[in-house]
């Protein structure tokens, strides 16, 4: 199973200056629940933004970093130099593609599921994710309102490929 897990604003932004443009602990919790114990695949830039934020890779998950750089070092992660190499290394795993924009584009034609958090705000971005909803069946949808800890309302939409 290959799943894309992504949060976008209403205008499709996922990131700005290599950071996620909102802070939604509720979405981080959902991300953790979905991915812990599984394999995550990310681009080198997303890997670097995780290390900047946490100081280490995502705990309790196998982390694979995609880069074209030879001899790229990512402690406690595995490194792959192509989409095909990453797929080969993760055969049989539940693979969660966790970004960013370049890696979502690579994964979209192969994905079985999309776990999409729609963040109810319009924001400036320099990285975007869009997909054609007509190719996907919405199997679950839950809207949650903003509160004192979560600055925006969001809708968790789970899609499966039709």
- Pairing mode, if any, of strands 2-9 and 154-161? unpaired
Single out the segment in contact with ligand NAP by CB under 6 A; choices: 17-25, 108-116, 139-147, 151-159. Answer: 17-25
Q: Contact with ligand NAP (CB under 6 A): which of 35, 39, 49, 63?
A: 49
Peptide bond into 100 cis (omega under 30): yes
User: 12 near 121, Cβ under 8 Å?
Assistant: no
CA-wise closest residue to 140 among 156, 122, 124: 156
Q: Among 12, 38, 67, 146, which residue sits at the site for ligand NAP (rule: CB under 6 A)?
A: 67
Give the closest residue to 47 by CA, choosing from 76, 25, 5. 76
Instruction: Pick the binder of ligand NAP from 2, 3, 4, 15 (CB under 6 A).
Output: 15
Is residue 103 part of the contact set for ligand NAP (CB under 6 A)?
A: yes
User: What is the smallest separation between the CB atom of 149 and ligand NAP, expressed in angstroms?
Assistant: 18
State whether residue 62 is helix, strand or coil: strand
- Give the nearer residue to ligand NAP in terms of CB position, either 45 or 134: 45
Which of the 8 DSSP states describes residue 76?
Answer: T
Q: Is 7 in the site for ligand NAP (CB under 6 A)?
A: yes
Smallest distance, Å, CB 160 to ligand NAP? 19
Whole-angstrom distance, CA of residue 162 vs CA of residue 149 = 35
Closer to ligand NAP at the Cβ: 39 or 46?
46
| Tokens read off for 98 | 């966790």
Binding site for ligand NAP (CB under 6 A): 6-7, 14-15, 18-20, 42-46, 49, 66-69, 81-83, 98-103, 106, 127
């Amino acid at each position: 199973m290959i799943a894309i897990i992504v949060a976008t604003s209403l205008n499709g932004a996922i990131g700005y200056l290599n950071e996620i443009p909102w802070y939604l602990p509720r979405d981080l919790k959902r991300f953790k629940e979905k991915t812990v114990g599984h394999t995550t695949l990310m681009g080198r830039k997303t890997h670097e933004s995780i290390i900047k934020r946490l100081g280490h890779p995502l705990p309790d998950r196998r982390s694979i970093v995609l880069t074209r750089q030879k001899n790229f070092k990512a402690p406690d992660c595995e490194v792959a130099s192509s989409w095909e190499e990453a797929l080969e290394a993760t055969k049989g795993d539940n693979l969660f593609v966790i970004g960013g924009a370049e890696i979502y584009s690579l994964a979209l034609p192969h994905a079985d599921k999309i776990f999409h958090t729609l963040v109810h705000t319009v924001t400036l971005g320099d990285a975007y994710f869009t997909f054609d909803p007509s190719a996907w069946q919405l199997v679950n949808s839950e809207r949650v309102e903003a509160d004192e800890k979560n600055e925006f309302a969001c809708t968790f939409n789970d899609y499966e490929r039709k």
